[in-house]
């Protein structure tokens, strides 16, 4: 079952078990919002894939007002981390309504709901799911990248452009000049002396993070039972 199907199943359950109309409406609203945030992150990831072998070193802008390829990559990189993290905050809105945690809408965050569950439903299945997501490397790195791009500066990215050309007349997979562009995220975006030793390639590493976070979201939704 996909994340979207899991969300839809919860909405159906809520519609049949929660009597308060306002709560049902809010769950439907936030469920649609969660699916939208995931799609927005996916769109940013798709755009980054399109820049895989494009660089300002080999492609010249057609107009003075055109954005450089590097600028566009930075934009979609920031967008990806922002929307992927936002999906967790919207998930928290769903959990707040379904479990009647009574947190005010504007105060609801993923971390806030995690704390609420720890004090109110410690050792419950859903509390453990929140804790596993929060403690995961995928979440910790998502938190760092989102914090940097939203509140600090552009995330450091190393870009390498490599040209490869083989001698004509031979049986070779390389015919003509082949250009490869490799972009790597820094290991820790919160430091001023960035390193790229962990080889976090764009967009591969981001796609891997997305899959891990969505798996946590799916498991949390499955444990979210109406009260």
Name, in order, each residue with C-beta under 8 angstroms of 83's C-beta and a sequence gap of 6 or more: 37, 38, 40, 41, 44
pLDDT digits (tens, 9 = 90+) for 141-163: 999 999 999 999 999 999 998 87
Judged by average pLDDT, the poorest of 19-28, 56-65, 128-137 is 56-65
Band (pLDDT 50/70/90 cuts) for residue 174 is: low
Q: Is the pLDDT of residue 38 over 70?
A: yes
Average pLDDT of the chain is 93
Whole-number pLDDT of residue 195: 97
Phi-psi region of 186 (alpha: psi -120 to 50; beta: other; left: phi over 0): beta
Whole-number pLDDT of residue 164: 74
Average pLDDT over residues 172-197: 86
Q: In this structure, what DSSP letter does residue 223 have?
A: T
Whole-number pLDDT of residue 122: 87
DSSP string for 28-76: HHHHHHHHHHHHHHHHHHHHHHHTTT--TTT---SSTTPPPHHHHHHHH
Whole-number pLDDT of residue 57: 72
| Strands laid side by side in the 177-185 sheet | 157-165, 177-185, 200-202
pLDDT digits (tens, 9 = 90+) for 43-74: 999 999 999 888 877 666 666 668 999 999 99
Token look-up 């990559």 returns 73
pLDDT digits (tens, 9 = 90+) for 192-206: 999 999 999 999 999
Q: What percent of the chain has pLDDT over 90?
A: 82
Q: What does the block give as tokens for 87?
A: 């999906």
Residue ranges per structural domain of the chain: 3-222
Task: Report residue 21: phi and psi, to 5°.
Answer: -60, -40
What is the rounded distance in angstroms from the CA atom of residue 150 to the CA atom of residue 61? 27
Whether residue 180 contacts residue 164, with contact meaning beta carbons closer than 8 Å, is answered with yes
pLDDT digits (tens, 9 = 90+) for 1-23: 799 999 999 999 999 999 999 99
Band (pLDDT 50/70/90 cuts) for residue 78 is: very high
């Amino acid at each position: 079952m996909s994340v979207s199907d899991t969300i839809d199943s919860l909405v159906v359950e809520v519609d049949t078990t929660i009597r308060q109309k306002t709560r049902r409406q809010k769950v439907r609203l936030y469920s649609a919002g969660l699916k939208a945030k995931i799609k927005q992150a996916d769109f940013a990831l798709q755009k980054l894939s399109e820049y895989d072998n494009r660089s300002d070193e080999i492609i010249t802008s057609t107009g003075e007002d055109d954005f450089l390829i590097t600028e566009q990559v930075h934009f979609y990189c920031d967008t990806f981390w922002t929307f992927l993290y936002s999906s967790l905050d919207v998930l928290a809105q769903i959990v707040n309504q379904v479990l009647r945690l009574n947190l005010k809408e504007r105060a609801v965050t993923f971390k806030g709901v995690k704390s609420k569950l720890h004090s109110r439903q410690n050792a419950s299945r859903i509390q453990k799911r929140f804790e596993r997501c929060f403690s995961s490397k995928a979440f910790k790195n998502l938190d760092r990248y989102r914090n940097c791009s939203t509140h600090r500066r552009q995330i450091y990215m190393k870009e390498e452009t490599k040209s490869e050309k083989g001698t004509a007349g031979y049986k070779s997979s390389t015919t003509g000049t082949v250009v490869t562009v490799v972009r790597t995220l820094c290991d820790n975006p919160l430091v001023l002396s960035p390193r790229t030793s962990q080889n976090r390639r764009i967009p591969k590493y981001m796609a891997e993070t997305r899959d891990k976070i969505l798996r946590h979201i799916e498991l949390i939704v499955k444990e979210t039972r109406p009260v």
